[in-house]
Structure 1
């Protein structure tokens, strides 16, 4: 069995690390009908294999490979659901013996991806039940965590029936329908239809490891074309405000914005700089105004999904002050629309962004994410291009971007008023 052809291999040779990281990313369309099964599959693949059919056998082999670390996770990427399987292994240059760890690591990944523990076209029932229980506990914990739940509720009201509203790990109600046999079909579907790309970061010979991976997995290049989000942005549209009650100590006040830009667009750097000034850092306006000056929030920050042009403000505020906090956040955003912010604040934001970017270069997995983002654009962006893009952002750029942005949804989770009091 071969992987679906059309798989690009990206290698970043560096002597910064004493480990080599190899990551496979399998991308399928975001679909609520498949997300939960794919989430389970990601865990089953790194649990046991045909050659290592027990936890003990698998762990012994990882120990033999000098404590190699194998991991899997799922995530949302633009319009895709992504299964990431990554292996972190000690670089053989630092070992006293002749063991070719890179080759051994590639063979292990081949075993994990192409030879899972399958009999009669179904996964092992016992391991599947264990992984289903673990995922069930994870999904219940998300529902019990009011901060996470309130964020999911914001997505629910902002995106309606779109699959983006669901967490990548899946849904509780989908779990019971997944069987050992249906999961095998999910696996076959992944191998046959997913877009896949491979990333390597470490002190390696680029040509050698590329050829080795291509030979082991029969890979060729593919062209990924993300679907375009046709959601019309209308800054004048009425905001969808939802208030729900729950047993919470503090009110969760969340907001969702849509911006007319996305990763790769010429005005995308303006969104990064704006987000840093608005709420992504303790130096930001939301932190200083809402939390420090007015003491309205216990916690507040903004974050972006730059691949789609979304910005979310997430906060925990005093139950008797959520109206004041909401108005303060909106007022702060209005100030950016009229360009009421200083050049000093903008310079500081740029400095923080470039410092964070530099830190990413110290983490192999973050470097892989940066490489993976490049598939969204036709011409790869160099580090120099990124820095130049951030430094070139002007006050007018941020002002124009905010003027064309839409505050889409406000979601408030607060405690019920005691009518007997």
Structure 2
């Protein structure tokens, strides 16, 4: 689905997406490295973005690198990792002031892209490895991030739901990696993994802002060209999975509030015809404050501190989150399952469908009003392999009928019920 006037060019070792617009006062550049989710190497991939943007050969410590960015009118740089279906995506983002708003003719964008190139392709290397002090420090930071997930019980319950629900699937892999792997990583082994990533990952580069297409194409070639890569890396598609029967899992931890999380299979992914109706389904079911989960589980029966749902666009999952008192587990579970059944029976009005459609359209417009949000939407579209203009996208959402939503609901299958509680029995 193509959301805006986007020029896409296959280049040497990368794919360039240019989105010229005068809407923003900054230029946003995002580089996305994609590889299949695999247990081997996922911790190295989680660590790499943080090590790479701490030092380069030209800016050998974090202070000098940060100072160089600050000198370019406070150019911002960030990085992270995420799962898109069965694929692991590392994103590097830069936001630089648009030169046309400056009184001087300094080539700010070119200088910023030189730094971007250094971060990705000219990192600080010592004796065929990364800087050991930087690696050690970033390993400690990542270790804290991994261990802190257990302290955030909502995130932990979601992690455990996916662990159990997608046990034999790549999607179950942890995006931040694993402590047992982290301990084994050295400056040299991480650098070897980096070299493999640079050569083998699929690289997409997005540039959005007030740019001249020919000029930015030339600058991008200087910045992102990979002479040893054909940019044809593997892409993992999620295999259809139909649970033969649902699972119910109760685990015990010291928690003040029970976490009842439920996973469903939608069998609908980004780019599918039913995807628009799935968005409306989720809004009605648990996506908005007016949804069935919020109104029935939280407001009407006062059984949950929160109750909501979201869907995973490239994996075909629908996830329900709720925080409940352990003694209310069975009742809360029954009411959540009843709301799904009500959706399958069409127990909602045409007026509610209309309201949900407007909320979904507003959310999408708000996302696309932000440069990074627009890039994320376009990347989703590119991964799905389908093309549609923004006006048609909005129209498709507005054309969803109650019957379309019921059809989506009927496809959805219960997979896993997960409850995290400190109480024996979970429902006493």
Return closer, same or farther for 1:224/1:114 CA change in 2, 3 Å cut-off: closer
Which secondary structure does the structure 1 equivalent of 2:80 belong to? Answer: strand
Aligned equivalents of 2:78 and 2:12: distance in 1? 24
Superimposed CA distance per residue, residues 89-130 of structure 1 (whole angstroms, 9 cap, x where no aligned partner):
111111122111111111111111110001221001001100
List aligned pairs for 1:388-407, cutoff 5 A.
388-407=395-414
Aligned 8 A contact 1:226 1:376 in 2: no
List aligned pairs for 1:115-264, cutoff 5 A.
115-218=122-225, 226-233=235-242, 237-264=244-271
Aligned equivalents of 1:377 and 1:133: distance in 2? 36
- The equivalent residue for 2:328 is 321
List aligned pairs for 1:9-408, cutoff 5 A.
9-218=16-225, 226-233=235-242, 237-408=244-415
Tell me how many residue pairs correspond in the alignment. Answer: 415
Aligned equivalents of 1:141 and 1:247: distance in 2? 15
Gaps of 5+ in 2: 1-10
Aligned equivalents of 1:339 and 1:411: distance in 2? 26
Aligned equivalents of 2:235 and 2:290: distance in 1? 35
Return closer, same or farther for 1:389/1:222 CA change in 2, 3 Å cut-off: farther
Return closer, same or farther for 1:415/1:293 CA change in 2, 3 Å cut-off: same
After TM superposition, give the deviation of residue 228 of structure 1 in Å. 3.3
- The equivalent residue for 2:3 is none
After TM superposition, give the deviation of residue 225 of structure 1 in Å. 6.9
Aligned equivalents of 1:417 and 1:222: distance in 2? 53
After TM superposition, give the deviation of residue 349 of structure 1 in Å. 0.6
After TM superposition, give the deviation of residue 221 of structure 1 in Å. 8.3
Aligned equivalents of 1:338 and 1:73: distance in 2? 41
Return closer, same or farther for 1:417/1:17 CA change in 2, 3 Å cut-off: same
Return closer, same or farther for 1:397/1:221 CA change in 2, 3 Å cut-off: farther
Aligned 8 A contact 1:302 1:311 in 2: yes
After TM superposition, give the deviation of residue 231 of structure 1 in Å. 3.1
Most deviating of 208-217 and 346-355: 208-217
Aligned 8 A contact 1:257 1:409 in 2: yes
Aligned equivalents of 1:192 and 1:137: distance in 2? 30
TM-align CA RMSD: 1.9
Gaps of 5+ in 1: none
Aligned 8 A contact 1:233 1:259 in 2: no
Which secondary structure does the structure 1 equivalent of 2:119 belong to? Answer: helix
After TM superposition, give the deviation of residue 418 of structure 1 in Å. 9.8
TM-score (norm 2): 0.93
After TM superposition, give the deviation of residue 385 of structure 1 in Å. 2.2
Aligned equivalents of 1:110 and 1:391: distance in 2? 43
